[in-house]
Structure 1
Amino acid sequence: MERVVSEAQLTAAEVARRAGTTTPTLRRWVKQGLIPQYHGVWTPAACAHARIVARLRERGHPLGQIRTASLEGRLAFAYIQDLLPALESHCTLDEAARETGLEPALIERIFTTMGLPAGASQRISADDLQLLRYCAAMLAAGLPLIAFLQLARVYGQALAQMADAAVRLFHLYVHEPLMRDGVPGLQMAEEMEGLASEVLPLASPVMDHVHRRFLAHFVEQDVIGHMETDLDAGAPLDLGRLRVAIAFADLAGYTRMTEEQGDEEAVGAVERFIENVGHTLPEEARIIKTIGDEVMIVGSDPATLVDWAVGFQELHATRPLPRIGVHFGETLYRDGDYYGREVNQAARVAARSAGGEVLVTRPVVQAAGPHLHFELIGEVRLKGFTEATELFLARAAQD
């Protein structure tokens, strides 16, 4: 195994290796004032800054431009890397396989599935090794490999999005304002590092608590969903398939609004729309994903979901008006998402609706309660489908 370097002080050779450069180049950068954190000792913060300089040089930025950026504090984010664990190679792939009992090919697959950088399985850190021990324990406990890999992919994608958002939001609302205020580079870096040192340790307990809250919620919903499925006379589904209600909702005229009122106003409208959807959804339904102004929603009960859709439209009288399509059918569940013909059909139904409308298919009408009225629009050949689909306009029944 490779020697683990002390995080208090690094050698010039180790810094050069991490930055992907040479020790003479490092000395030249120090002499030219490109590494302001270097004061005779290579600390993790100075090393992080050297890595940033190396990446900028690879992209063709001249030394003078990099020096100016350092003085202006534009590279101050590098200091925060000092608070993160160093990804020092601790063991080889084969050593990790022997330690965890996982096949080398499976370790590579786990890292790839989680979305870790290419080559991560060839530079396994002590923390990576502990992660692999957890993975081995989950599989040894009896979790099927197909379920484990899907869970790993969902975790990887979700955590990557969270990490990306954390970095971008910190840059937009902390780093940028400090630069606009003309705070000197070193002072800016110290302020950012101080804030990050207080916030970062709180991230894991917050995520763990939210995760457990959602686990409790979805376990309850799953129990209820299984009971209702068992009471339904429908044929049993193949492994990996679920029968669900699917809704797509977006804002009619969103593109025109972007052109007429600008991005800020349009994005504000989308944020309010998505927030309203999330706050008003029934307990058994949830947002699966958003793409621009479009929201995909899945629930176990089509009657409840169409009730929500009609009620949601009644709450909105100002433009841009939502348009919603609802369908019910069998889907393929993979990696926390839903796929298949029925999902595509729901999306096409929504695309045929106008602002303020809720369009549904016959399976939804058959499941709905008497307090709703469904007006048959006709049989419509949806894009990508050879057979025509009956579409109904849903609204509250008149007394």
Structure 2
Amino acid sequence: MTATTLAEAARLTGVSPATLRRWVDAGLVPTGPGGALTPASVGQARVVARLRERGHTLRQIREATERGRLATSSIEGLLPAAPGAWTAEQAGRETGLDPALIARIFQSLGFGAAAVEHLRDDDLQLLRHAAGALDAGLPLEAFLQLVRVYGQAMSQIADAEVRLFHLYVHEPLMREGVPGGQMTEEIAGLAREILPLASPIMDLAHTRFLQHFIEQDVVGHMEADLPGSADRLPGRQRVAIAFADLAGFTRLTEEVGDEEAVGIVERFVDQVQASLPDDARIIKTIGDEVMIVGGDPSALAWWAVTFQQGDVTRPRPRIGLHYGEALYREGDWYGREVNQAARVAARAAGGEVLVTRPVVEHVGPGLAFRPIGEVRLKGFTAPTEIFAAAAGEA
């Protein structure tokens, strides 16, 4: 447990030393042995400062502390300390990166402009790694896209860690009426056991997924030999795009309530994830809608038909599938072809798979396609030829 001076703790909190001392004397900020200020003290002080900025009185904060409502702030004391205060100019001299590029890197990660004003020692190490990646030859555009993906993924992971810990650990302790001090000790003890497991789990998952997508990329290189691929702009690729959602889900939510409806969505997404072909993956979920992208339109069409045959959920899924050239950016896909797949899915009924002509042309025998006709999709001037897909000889 590393002690921190009053002046340093006040600087990290953003208040004066006198204000921080009043909070400590009032019992709002915990201290270590002998009254020493610790990283946990700083974490709690930051929470107090934010609550004060939002208009909460010291009495309200004290009552919340006594009831254990602020107990999770002590977890910050278990995180690695990162002292140091570097300016962007100093960090630039240390790493060889332009200060403007340093600001772009932290903006891409998802941090605000204030993050660059006082860079920490671990920020400097991050920038050294960034400089190494760029020196090795990674194009700047690709690097910044990768950084954005890292930032979005890590932000979602950290948010989920905190929210799930609160929902399944902190709130049950509050409902049991555990005193604030005891709750803080129990939460800190549990976090002390769990936090060291996070990085190994993420490292293992990252390695496994990296191996998987490297294999898929090697197979996908065959596309470089296809006609017209040499003229394709960077970031554009022919992919199969599917959208799947639950027909009548809004009405179901009204009937069964939010909790049960969310459970139905979770089971639906799990079923999709577990059944997808090897070269396809879920790109994102929006409510009950799932966006899927794969390299093989035939495999994705077979998946859609097979999924509908085996589905027993209520309400029934509806699936739309298209094959075309889309633009890849930062882990997501964009463009006209993506929009077309989404519009096709919106025309499907529960239990139905609708596909476009390019899909039909790339699927071998075994699936039957019944013409629906040329349909004018919202946002598209020219009509789109749509087919209903089902098992059976074409």
Per the alignment, residue 66 of structure 1 pairs with: 61
Q: Does 1:136 align with 2:131?
A: yes
Tell me which amino acid in the other structure corresponds to 2:200.
P
Per the alignment, residue 155 of structure 1 pairs with: 150
Tell me which amino acid in the other structure corresponds to 2:15.
T
Moved more, 250-259 or 26-35: 26-35
Q: Does 1:187 align with 2:161?
A: no
Per the alignment, residue 199 of structure 2 pairs with: 204
Per the alignment, residue 377 of structure 1 pairs with: 372
Q: Secondary structure at the match of 1:88?
A: coil
Per the alignment, residue 3 of structure 1 pairs with: none
Moved more, 184-193 or 83-92: 83-92
**TM-score normalised to structure 2 length:** 0.96
Q: Secondary structure at the match of 1:148?
A: helix
Where does the alignment leave 5 or more consecutive residues of structure 2 unmatched? Answer: none
How far residue 13 of structure 1 moved from its aligned partner, in angstroms, is: 2.0
Match of 1:145 among 140, 145, 163: 140
Q: Does 1:17 align with 2:11?
A: yes
Structure 1 segments of 4+ aligned residues over 6 angstroms from their partners = none
Q: Distance in 1 between matches of 2:313 and 2:332?
A: 32
Q: Does 1:264 align with 2:255?
A: no
Match of 1:343 among 338, 346, 357: 338
How far residue 234 of structure 1 moved from its aligned partner, in angstroms, is: 4.6
Q: Does 1:80 align with 2:72?
A: no
Per the alignment, residue 368 of structure 1 pairs with: 363
How far residue 318 of structure 1 moved from its aligned partner, in angstroms, is: 4.1
Tell me which amino acid in the other structure corresponds to 2:389.
A
Q: Distance in 2 between matches of 1:382 and 1:371?
A: 28
Q: Does 1:352 align with 2:347?
A: yes
Q: Secondary structure at the match of 2:390?
A: strand
CA displacement 1:246-278 (0-9 Å, x = unmatched): 000000011011111000110000000000000
Tell me which amino acid in the other structure corresponds to 2:245.
D
Identity of aligned residues (%): 65
Q: Secondary structure at the match of 1:60?
A: coil
Q: Distance in 1 between matches of 2:158 and 2:105?
A: 19
Per the alignment, residue 280 of structure 1 pairs with: 275
How far residue 376 of structure 1 moved from its aligned partner, in angstroms, is: 0.5
Q: 1:22 to 1:226 in 2, by over 3 A?
A: same
Q: Does 1:26 align with 2:1?
A: no
**TM-score normalised to structure 1 length:** 0.95
- 1:30-41 paired onto structure 2 within 5 Å: 30-37=24-31, 40-41=35-36
Aligned residues: 392
Per the alignment, residue 122 of structure 1 pairs with: 117
Tell me which amino acid in the other structure corresponds to 1:28.
R
Q: Distance in 2 between matches of 1:61 and 1:135?
A: 41
Q: Distance in 1 between matches of 2:292 and 2:49?
A: 45
Q: Distance in 1 between matches of 2:297 and 2:62?
A: 61
Q: What is the alpha-carbon root mean square deviation over aligned residues? A: 1.5
Q: Distance in 2 between matches of 1:362 and 1:42?
A: 68
How far residue 30 of structure 1 moved from its aligned partner, in angstroms, is: 2.9
Tell me which amino acid in the other structure corresponds to 1:35.
V
Tell me which amino acid in the other structure corresponds to 1:357.
E
Q: 1:238 to 1:27 in 2, by over 3 A?
A: closer
Q: Secondary structure at the match of 1:142?
A: coil
Q: Secondary structure at the match of 1:257?
A: helix
How far residue 218 of structure 1 moved from its aligned partner, in angstroms, is: 0.4
How far residue 40 of structure 1 moved from its aligned partner, in angstroms, is: 2.4
Q: Distance in 2 between matches of 1:210 and 1:94?
A: 36
Match of 1:308 among 296, 303, 307: 303
Per the alignment, residue 106 of structure 1 pairs with: 101
